[in-house]
Amino acid sequence: MVVFDKPHALNDMSMHYCPGCTHGIIHRLVAEVMDELGIEGRTIGIAPVGCSVMAYNYFNCDMIEAAHGRAPAVATGVKRADPENNIVFTYQGDGDLASIGMAETVHAAARNENITVIFVNNAIYGMTGGQMAPTSLPGQITQTSPYGRDVNHCGYPIRVCEMLSQLEGPEYLERVTVNSVKQVRNAKKAIKKAFQNQLDGKGFSLIEVVSSCPTNWGLTPQAALKWIDEKMLPYYPLGVYKDRSAGEEK
Ligand SMILES: Cc1ncc(C[n+]2csc(CCOP(=O)(O)OP(=O)(O)O)c2C)c(N)n1
């Protein structure tokens, strides 16, 4: 009896992510959803610049690499080129989505582009060695805030779901995490819904996944998962921030 198998939508290769990094879990959830919805052959993923820059190697669907932060703009073009057939998702870190790419994010949401955005918030610039991100917590020690993020000097972290929920445009915004089995299951449900919304023509769906970066947080993998509960979730509460179709007959 098969009790564990690789999703077909993930390629059979080892990933370059650090031990304890949750990018791998999130890749797997996206791939499982592609399998379950039977959309691998018509899905086009847009990879970001950041640790997941090589996501194009891992997903077994068509992939395009976007310039840093521009994934929602590329996704807009790909979706609009063939809206009936193309299923388009972006996969972006917090530096990519909420810093250099903030304009693309906000405008794609405001336009209610019928795309799916997977937003991996690990509160740091992982790939470049742990600089402060727009989502780094007040007091968080990073390479560019060695004494902790000083909000008087660097401003406050941006809560993306809360901010986008003020727009008329977006269809669905939810924040999840993947630091326990229960949370991984919830995250999968949210990711599946975000793809299903696109199939149903409902519009812009963004799932923010609160994630770990043990290497740049300077923690063991286990301690990093605990840090999510203790530090990240009080600042970034989990939940649905917008669901325009909530209450509609399923
Ligand atoms: C135009 C441009 N500016 C800056 C960089 C340098 N750079 C590469 S990745 C990155 C940030 C990545 O952080 P994030 O999006 O949070 O993803 P993570 O690596 O943490 O998964 C930056 C600033 C770049 N590659 N291109």
Asked whether 159 and 3 are in contact (CB, 8 A), the reply is: no
The answer to whether the CB of 115 falls within 8 A of the CB of 72 is yes
For ligand 1, say whether the CB of 105 is within 6 Å of any of its atoms.
no
Q: Is any ligand 1 atom within 6 A of the Cβ of residue 127?
A: yes
171 lines ligand 1 (CB under 6 A): no
Over residues 219-234, mean pLDDT? 98
pLDDT per position as a tens digit, 191-201: 999 999 999 99
- 11: phi > 0 → left, psi -120 to 50 → alpha, else beta; which? beta
126-142 mean pLDDT: 98
Confidence of residue 247 (pLDDT cuts 50, 70, 90): confident
- Position of tokens 């999840």? 176
Predicted local distance difference test score (pLDDT) of residue 63: 98
Instruction: Count the Cβ atoms, other than its own, within 10 Å of residue 4.
Output: 4
d(CA 44, ligand 1 centre) in Å: 22
Q: What is the pTM of this model?
A: 0.97
The residue contributing the CA closest to ligand 1 atom 20 is 126
| CB contact set of 116 (below 8 Å; sequence gap of 6+) | 87, 88, 89, 90, 194, 195, 197, 198, 205, 206, 207
Pick from 96, 99, 232 the residue to mutate for probing ligand 1's pocket: most ligand atoms within 8 Å of its CB: 96
Averaged over 138-165, what is the pLDDT?
A: 97
Residue 173 has pLDDT above 90, yes or no: yes
Q: How far is it, in rounded angstroms, from Cα 128 to Cα 15? A: 18
62 Cα–ligand 1 center, Å = 22
130 lines ligand 1 (CB under 6 A): no
Residue type, 104: E
Mean pLDDT of 241-248: 90
Contacts of 37-42 with C-beta under 8 Å, sequence gap 24+, read 37/192, 37/195, 37/196, 37/199, 39/87, 39/195, 39/199, 40/8, 40/9, 42/85, 42/86, 42/87
Average pLDDT over residues 176-183: 98
Q: What is the mean pLDDT of residues 105-131?
A: 98
Which pLDDT does position 4 carry in this prediction?
A: 86
Return the H-helix or E-strand segment holding 198.
helix 181-199
What domains are there in the chain, each with its CATH number? 23-243 (3.40.50.970)
> Mean per-residue pLDDT for 55-68?
98
CA 188 to chain CA centroid, Å, is 12
pLDDT, the chain, mean: 97
In the predicted structure, residue 75 carries a pLDDT above the cut 60: yes
The CA R_g of the chain, rounded to the nearest whole Å, is: 17
Mean pLDDT of 209-228: 98
Q: Look at residue 249 and tell me whether its pLDDT is greater than 60.
A: no
Predicted confidence band of residue 131 (pLDDT cuts 50, 70, 90): very high
Residue 248's pLDDT is 74
